[in-house]
Amino acid sequence: MKKRNNSSYNQAIIQDALKGCIGKLTPREQLKNPIIFVVYLGTFITGFIWLYESSRGTIPLFGFEFWVFVWLFFTVLFANFAEALAEGRGKAQASALRSAKKSSSANKLSEDGSLRKVSSESLRVGDVVVVVAGEVIPSDGEVIKGIASIDESAITGESAPVIRESGGDRNSVTGGTLVLSDEITIKITKNPGETFLDRMISLIEGAKRQKSPNEIALSILLMGLTAIFLVVTLTLKPMALHVNADISVVSLIALLVCLIPTTIGGLLSAIGIAGMDRLLKKNVLAMSGKAIEAAGDVNVLLLDKTGTITFGNRMASVFIPLDIKELDQLAYAALLTSLSDDTPEGKSTVTFAQNHYGVKEPANLQSAKFIPFSAYTRMSGLDLDGKAYRKGAVDAIEKFVTASGGKFSKEAHDICAQIGKKGGTPLVVCEGSKVLGVIHLKDIIKPSIKEKFAEFRGMGIKTVMITGDNPITAAAIAAEAGVDDFVAEATPDTKIALIRNYQKEGFTVAMTGDGTNDAPALAQADVGLAMNSGTQAAKEAANMVDMDSSPTKLIEVVEVGKELLMTRGALTTFSLANDIAKYFAIIPALFVVAFPQMEVLNIMHLSSPQSAILSAVIFNALIIIALIPLAISGVGYKALSADVVLGKNLVIYGLGGIIVPFAGIKLLDMLLATLHLL
């Protein structure tokens, strides 16, 4: 299995990000981030003052004003670089996808039944095309005739081919994928520019990235803080004149830039883009940032039993003989009767007999007459050495035994009934007219899934298993898996009603699905994860698509959503805490001449007022570049309660946000004093 290269920091991406951060220096681009736009304006004003005053000779050419201008410019540049770097990998992915989106010819089926070559760009919704082995599927559609093996590696990164066929829930095909075998007839479901590949490219590049509600709310809060600090800074000038303190405009701009939340302002967009990128690394395409954020708020998970909680195939787990002395004989007969059974159940029986009982195939198998499993007879077996070995459903074996002159005992019926009550499936094994025993088939719970559900429970997330099984079977599997609740004999109407009920109670609900009948529930859920192998209706209804078509991916999606919220919260805490140290650096420096008593606030013992201000400005710029890796990679997720996470964040990013600037500003002040830049 081959995956695309997921490296976040290769040389090409960094080079593109460097070019991108320069390209973002236009007023139109800067206006998209109001906080950095304030810094942007401050940079221009500082640059103008520096050029004007230095040309008049009133200030040194490379003095305080010059260095403030330089580092304000770097602050803007670093904020642009953070966003450009977050976008960089997405653009690399989009470039790879564009290589798959090449205009090609298509065999369009005419009304008279003839085929004619047309350009894929000319295809419209409702057109029918025929694609044979070796040809690229020209556009999104649904298979209406035939079955084929398809290479989807250009989109999913997976080298293993997949099967697509008419009817059922695996009839959806994506433009740009390659047909490896056979021939299929496809009905086009998307016009050019609207295909799944087009949407992927657009979303990955971030061209249509919509801010989530929480991100918008945080932006409004940060803009409010910026407005408050702007008013405070503007009032300092007349206050200083009143007390005969000389505070330059450049110093006030430096103060404003250091006090407004520039750190989180510069990283906020990068955090959102990186969240989509982290999902993309897991081969999940999020249709919006709102969907990722909703995943972080999820507190009810609706999970299909088959393929998510269990492996999806019932496997042999126990051999139950009618006579304990005949256990080895039962194991031997179970192996023989399963050699011609190619179903997952048959293969698991062979493996179980070999691994747990050491049963080996007889040497004279070439003389045996194999009876393959048939859905009609519901039996499999073989005739060897004059003996007829059979394995199958209870009623099928009962008929076989009775026809052979034997009797199906009450004990065998009781064993089968007990297995059914436990949620298992009984298969009866016989040798001629004699019943040897019963194979207990059961849904095998995936390893560590119970521990994962326990982690979610600790976070306050409720897990609900949805299955079409009867209540007895569902209850047995739910208890073994450790889910909080289950819904048996579920229908599409049951699913959507369940989601609505949870949402009415204030829960945020996530679910997976792949069929057309799942589409209403996927659309209703706050987080709907559709399988790429599923129908077009399911993918259209969902707000996320799993390119790997793995039902368990929903758990990883929730974790990425949690990471996004934790990263944004942690960096916001760190950014706001930074202001405390900057306050102690700049405020005393501004007023110490007029009020010598304020020297007591100079707890860092900075060398001079100008050095204190410049050190704070430099630190303010450098901390953005230092936090870019954390913003893009995200704060590590751990399944902890909200109170514990909040406490840890306050200690690490709150207290750390206070201590780090004190140390950083002091070191920068010492460096400036050593270099004699001022």
- Which residues does the annotation mark as catalytic? 304
- Per DSSP, the residues of 567-630 read HHHHHHHHHHHHHHHHHHHHHHHHHTTT-GGGGGG-TT--S-HHHHHHHHHHHHHHHHHHHHHH
55 marked among binding-site residues = no
CB within 8 Å of 269: residues ≥ 6 apart: 32, 33, 82, 83, 86
Rounded-to-integer distance, Cα 59 and Cα 61, Å: 6
619 marked among binding-site residues = no
278 marked among binding-site residues = no
380 marked among binding-site residues = yes
40 marked among binding-site residues = no
Closest CA to 126 of 104, 112, 114, 108: 108
379 marked among binding-site residues = yes
Helices marked H in 134-248:
153-156, 196-205, 213-242
434 marked among binding-site residues = no
What DSSP character marks residue 207?
A: T
> How many CA atoms does the CB half-sphere of 483 hold within 13 Å?
25
CB contact burial 403-437 (16+ within 10 A = b; e otherwise): eeebebeeebeebbeebbeebbbbbbbbbbebbbb
CA 99 to chain centre: 24
Rounded-to-integer distance, Cα 477 and Cα 409, Å: 29
Q: Which helix (H) or strand (E) segment is 41 a member of? A: helix 34-56
345 marked among binding-site residues = yes
Contact 370, 382 (CB under 8 A): yes
Three-state SS for 318?
Answer: strand
Contact 184, 150 (CB under 8 A): no
212 marked among binding-site residues = no
373 marked among binding-site residues = yes
75 marked among binding-site residues = no
What DSSP character marks residue 63?
A: S
Rounded-to-integer distance, Cα 113 and Cα 102, Å: 27
151 marked among binding-site residues = no
52 marked among binding-site residues = no
Strands 387-392 and 379-384: antiparallel
Contact 178, 136 (CB under 8 A): yes
Q: Which residue ranges make up the annotated binding site for ATP?
A: 341, 345, 373-380, 391
Binding residues for Mg(2+): 514, 518
Q: Which positions make up the binding site?
A: 341, 345, 373-380, 391, 514, 518
